[in-house]
Amino acid sequence: MSNAEAERWNEKYRRERELWLNMEPRQLLELYKTQIPRECLALDVACGVGTTAIYLAALGLHVIGIDISEYALHLARTKTRQLGYPVEFAVADLSSLWLPEYYFDLITNFHFLERAAIPVLKRALKPGGMILFETFMATNKTTTAPAYYLQPGELKGIFEKFTIIHYAEYMHQPSQNHGVRGTAQLVARKPEG
């Protein structure tokens, strides 16, 4: 992503600030929270205003959130300071991401897709570590920005060597802001050794 991309996201978060700050944690987190290891290191990818990071910190995890938007991270830092949670945030361009190998016990990626980052995320996860991934999937009617949409079955194929705990694909009806689109969800554990 370029600086223009960062500015686009900064502007989006400025314009829609209250909407983002009032978002609830993703349902997938709630459904699988008992399987998330406690007292471990988690990475929240494209963390935005920190909703997922805060949820994980409340469960007892040490969390690092990364996002391209400095403004979103400012909002996230403010919110976590008020709540007193141990979350660290960093600006990162996910199109050219570097992370240490075998570092995180848990990685979350919600409603964001950067295919170039996926191999980096897989390497950064410790053996036995867990990933929760949910993002948009292309439909026959999805024609704009195909790089930001998974193809049906693609997410499952990307993590085929992982132990898949949950995988689902859903179709969503058109809304005020979006046409017909799908969502792919995955909860998986990286093989030991």
Closest to 26 in 3D by CA, of 3, 48, 2: 48
Q: Radius of gyration (Cα) for the chain, nearest Å?
A: 16
Long-range own/partner contacts, residues 76-83 (CB < 8 A, 24 or more apart): 76/47, 76/48, 76/49, 76/50, 77/50, 79/21, 79/49, 79/50, 79/54, 80/50, 80/53, 80/54, 83/54
Q: How confident is the model at residue 158 (pLDDT cuts 50, 70, 90)?
A: very high
Q: How far apart are CA 41 and CA 47, in angstroms?
A: 15
Residue 64 corresponds to which tokens in the numbers above? Answer: 């690092």
Is it the case that residue 162 has pLDDT exceeding 50? yes
Is it the case that residue 143 has pLDDT exceeding 70? no
**Count of other CB atoms within 10 angstroms of residue 39:** 9
Q: What is the mean pLDDT of residues 53-65?
A: 95
Is it the case that residue 1 has pLDDT exceeding 50? no
Is it the case that residue 55 has pLDDT exceeding 70? yes
pLDDT in tens, 67-85: 999 999 999 999 999 999 9
Q: How far apart are CA 105 and CA 130, in angstroms?
A: 6
Which pLDDT value is given to residue 119?
Answer: 97
Q: What is the value of pTM for the model shown?
A: 0.89
pLDDT in tens, 40-54: 999 999 999 999 999
Domains (range + CATH), the chain: 3-136 (3.40.50.150)
Which pLDDT value is given to residue 5?
Answer: 84
Residue 129 corresponds to which tokens in the numbers above? Answer: 């570590």
